Amino acid sequence: MKEPGQTSVVYNGVFTHGVDVKRRVQIPAKWRPKKPRAQFTLVLWPKYAVGKCLRVLPEERMEKLMAEIEQLPNTDPNKTVLMRIIGTRSVQVNLDKGGRICLPEDMAREADIKDKAVLAGLLTQFEIWNPERYAEIALMDSRVAADAFKILP
């Protein structure tokens, strides 16, 4: 949870970073939590037509997601599916002293992340993409952007 007087990080912008042989990727300085020993939750995110990416949730966003799932009715079979998929396809990672996180081998492989990664801000969280897949999803987003913005007041 956010401590009193602490400002929230806004995950905006797009960054391309190299991925080293240990599968470590640099997190932009402005996206790094200020508190020591910060953790992120990586979720292998299957929702996109162009392929999977890694959704990266800061601690407070992961807490909110768990609360949102918990609020679903127990009679909804999707609740258990979401809990199982997110529970088994996620992992907590620590930010190292160099501002990097290490991508687990199986998750990096499924998201097709090799020597380069695109980090795309989603305001309260961010995603890590294979650069070619990101180019495809960005093109798809641009095609529906006008309709998407209609939901804003």
Gyration radius of the chain's alpha carbons: 16
Residue 121 contacts residue 27 (beta carbons within 8 Å): no
Question: Which of the four pLDDT bands, split at 50, 70 and 90, describes residue 7?
Answer: low
Residue 130 contacts residue 111 (beta carbons within 8 Å): yes
Domains delineated in the chain: 14-145 (3.40.1550.20)
Six-digit token pair at 143?
Answer: 């095609």
Question: Which of the four pLDDT bands, split at 50, 70 and 90, describes residue 4?
Answer: very low
Confidence (pLDDT) at 5: 41
Residue closest to 125 by CA, chosen among 33, 23, 35: 33
Confidence (pLDDT) at 127: 97
Tens-digit pLDDT profile for residues 54-85: 999 999 999 999 999 999 999 999 999 999 98
Amino acid at 121: G
Distance from first CA to last CA of the chain, Å, rounded?
28
Residue 111 contacts residue 23 (beta carbons within 8 Å): no
Considering only the C-alpha atoms of the chain, give the largest distance between any 2 of them, rounded to a whole number of Å: 46
